[in-house]
Amino acid sequence: AQSVTQLGSHVSVSEGALVLLRCNYSSSVPPYLFWYVQYPNQGLQLLLKYTSAATLVKGINGFEAEFKKSETSFHLTKPSAHMSDAAEYFCAVSARGYTGFQKLVFGTGTRLLVSP
Amino acid sequence: GAVVSQHPSRVICKSGTSVKIECRSLDFQATTMFWYRQFPKQSLMLMATSNEGSKATYEQGVEKDKFLINHASLTLSTLTVTSAHPEDSSFYICSAGLAGIRDTQYFGPGTRLTVL
């Protein structure tokens, strides 16, 4: 079984500051890990994913995340926040499946607030 | 590429009526589609997984007779909420899996259902 814990339902940063959104996972099998962003009243957009290649994963809009197996973490970072980054961010985990799709299990989400 | 659409984007209906929501993969064939439900300020909860040409697999606690899912083609899945009640009001989001890329789901923009 898989689960995800996102620490902090809200994170506030100033424009230009470092963004750090925390995600810890639990998985009984090797995981795939994902970060998605959701803007109000919209679906989810994939930011980046870890699928057992490089542990440091670079995504869109300047975001990156590092898979740390020893810490069971997959934190999302961005060096410099923009106002447009304000949104809800979801971390998700799935089992590494060899046949067919595996279910995504989502964290509870972190709302990123960016102030001028 | 990998665009998923949903129709309608918003629907308001009276209690007791049925509502159909369509999910389409516009530029790829989706062997697997997923339906999620999201309550305000909460995470996504998987309702069911549908594979083209076969019956959907429902998550525990989801009433299959109330939430009818049909995946008749590789580009279309439908969710019908039967005899809708106010507690069914929610944001419904579908996702589609791209054949050959098992680990990634592409999400539609969501449908806001309000039952009066």
Query: What's the pLDDT tens digit per position in B71-94?
Result: 888 899 999 999 999 999 999 999
> Is some CB atom of chain A closer than 8 A to the CB atom of B96?
no
Pairwise pLDDT comparison (B52 vs B58), residue with the higher score: B58
Instruction: Give residue B84's pLDDT.
Output: 96
Residue B70 pLDDT > 70: yes
Instruction: Give residue B99's pLDDT.
Output: 64
DSSP string, A95-115: E--SSS----EE---EEEEEE
| Radius of gyration from C-alpha coordinates of chain A | 14
Q: Do B67 and B52 contact (CB within 8 A), yes or no? A: no
Mean pLDDT over A80-102 rounds to 84
- Residue B27: CB atoms within 10 Å: 11
> Which residues in chain A have their CB less than 8 angstroms from residue B49's CB?
101, 103
Q: Do A7 and A1 contact (CB within 8 A), yes or no? A: no
Q: Please state, for a pLDDT cut of 90, what percent of chain B lies above it.
A: 66
Subunit contact A108:B49, Cβ cutoff 8 A: no
Q: For chain A, what's the residue count?
A: 116
Mean pLDDT over A64-74 rounds to 95
> Which residues in chain B have their CB less than 8 angstroms from residue A49's CB?
103-104
Rounded CA separation B54/B65 (Å): 16
Q: How many pairs of residues across A and B have Cβ atoms under 8 Å apart?
A: 58
Q: State the DSSP code for B88.
A: G
